[in-house]
Structures are given as structure tokens and as C-alpha cells.
A = this chain, B = another copy of it.
Amino acid sequence: MHPYRRIVEDVRRRIESGELRPGDRVPSARAITQEWGVAIATATRAHAALREEGLTVARAGVGTVVAGPAPRKEHELTRERIVATAVEVADRLGLAELTMRRLAAELGAATMSLYRYVPSRDELIVAMIDKALGEIRLPRRHPGGWRPAIELAARQEWAVFQRHPWLGSSMSITRPQIAPNGIRLSEWVLAAFDDTELDLEERMYAQIVLFTFVRGVASALEPEAEAIRETGLTNEQWLQTQESTLTELMDTNGMSHFQQLTEDGFDFGLDLVFEFGLARMLDGLSLFVRARG
């Protein structure tokens, strides 16, 4: 038996015993020369044999690695992990506070290491958008009729925007960042109109308008969250600090409506804005769909 067979068998045993798991690095050629007391040529032959049997794959610059779906080492730097952590940081601290340095610190890595996996901060944000949109779960079949379907989509979007306050202000309509999950969502909404007479262009406009509205409401979320973080004031408290300026302004200009509004107190909530706007929007769309039908 050639000496390299012994090495192969040893390694195979380690893999089968679970000592070495998919994605782990098998001893390098240098390490083999040390461990088994052989020449590097022998070690190389062992590597080749392992590779031939499909037990391992050679990854250039990284080493020979046990084949199979790698079960993600916890602290390995990975595009996936970077994006996930970035989302988490942005949710917690706001997009402005998501700096490459802070993100690296959060990951326990050096700043520049991130640039191996992400070409720039901007592209990282695109990846974050895609990940966030991926949370939207829509049934394969559209629930009865276009209106419930559209409403469902809008509510899902709104929910995601709320979970990720930074999302609304970072998405663009005119230049849709190529986020696969965004496109999937679009397709679903377009298809939701299949039971209407709307042509494709009209559907597209309906879709964009809906989305624009939801995002419009949502883009108030980030500044608000940021303001609360920074000043520690809730919205109401803040309004009170501004009250003197406001009343002075109103007094000098005779703004009766506004004045009464602040006197009566105004129960303001983005959720209510969303609900009110969505209802009007769907009503208006209904009229349009009916006119086409």
C-alpha cells in the first residue's frame, strides 16, 4: 500500500466520525508533511486522491476543504452575515449610524475586511434592501379579486417598512436597484390585476403609485426614530417644545383652522395615515378599474 493511502484513510475516518465537517479545512500539504512525516509530494498525492473521491474540494488560496454544504461557521466572515448584521444595526441605530467601521466592530472584524465581500457601502445597502424585501411573504395564489390582493401587498410592504425604518428612504422607483425580491413583489402585484381589464401599463402605474404612497408614509419613520434616539423626546413632547413658536406664528397670521386643531389636540399616528390613505387609494383605484371593465 502506498503511504499516501494511509493518509487518505486517516482523513476519511476523521470526516466520517464527524471530527471534520463540511467546510472545515483538511490538513494542508505542509501540515501533512509534519503530521505523517512524509514528503510534500506524498501529501499532494493524498490531496489529489481525496479530491478524486469527492470527499474534498480544493479552494484556491484557502486550502483543501471537506465537500458538502458547509454548515456556516458561526463567526466566519460572509456576505450573508455582513448583510444580516448591517440590517440589524440599521434597525437599531438608523442608517446614518451604519458606518463601515461600526459594522466591522459589530462583526469582530477589521474595517477593510468587509470590502472583500461588499464592493461599497452603497451596494451593501442594496443588498440590505433585498434582504428586507425578502421578508415579504405572499401566497402563491392571489386571494379573491384584485382588491384584497393589492391590499395584502400594501400591508405587507407597510409592515416591512415599519420593521426597517431605513428602508423607505433608501429605495428608488426610477432606478429600481436590482433587488430580486423587489422584482418578485412587483410581479406578484402586476399579476394581481389579472381579473381586471387593465392593460400592463396601467397596472404598472397603479403599482408604482401604491408603492410610492406606502413608501411616502414610511419615509417618515426613519427621521422619527432618529429624532427619538437623539433627543429622547417622543413626538408629543417635541411638539410641546415647539408650541410657543407655533402659536406665535398662528396668532400673527390668523390661521383659524390650524389654531383650532392644536387646541382640540390632534390624535396623530402614521398608522392612521396609512389606513386613511390606503382606503382612499383603493377606492380611487376601484373607480378606475370599473371604468375600464
B-contacting residues of A (Cβ < 8 Å)? 169, 172-175, 178, 180, 183-184, 186-187, 190-191, 200-201, 203-206, 208-209, 212-213, 215-217, 219-220, 223-224, 227, 235, 238, 242, 245-246, 249-250, 253, 255-258, 260-261, 264, 266-268, 270, 272-273, 276-277, 279-285, 287-288
Contacts and interface: CB of A to CB of B under 8 A. Distances in A.
- Chain B CB within 10 Å — which of A208, A250, A270 has the most? A208
B217 A212 contact: yes
Given A183-B250, A284-B282, A245 B212 contact: no
B273 A209 contact: yes
A257 B213 contact: no
Contacts of A178: 242, 245-246, 249
A285 B268 CA distance: 19
B258 A174 contact: no
14 contacts: A174-B223, A175-B227, A191-B256, A200-B261, A201-B267, A205-B272, A205-B276, A205-B277, A209-B213, A212-B217, A280-B281, A280-B288, A284-B285, A287-B287
A201 B279 contact: no
Which A-B residue pairs are the 10 nearest by beta carbons? A216-B216, A280-B284, A284-B284, A283-B284, A209-B277, A190-B257, A187-B255, A212-B216, A205-B276, A174-B224
Contact of A273 (B169, B172, B208, B261): B208
Contact of A280 (B180, B266, B285): B285
A106 B223 CA distance: 29
Contacts of A223: 172, 174-175
Nearest to A202: B276
A261 to B, nearest CB: 5
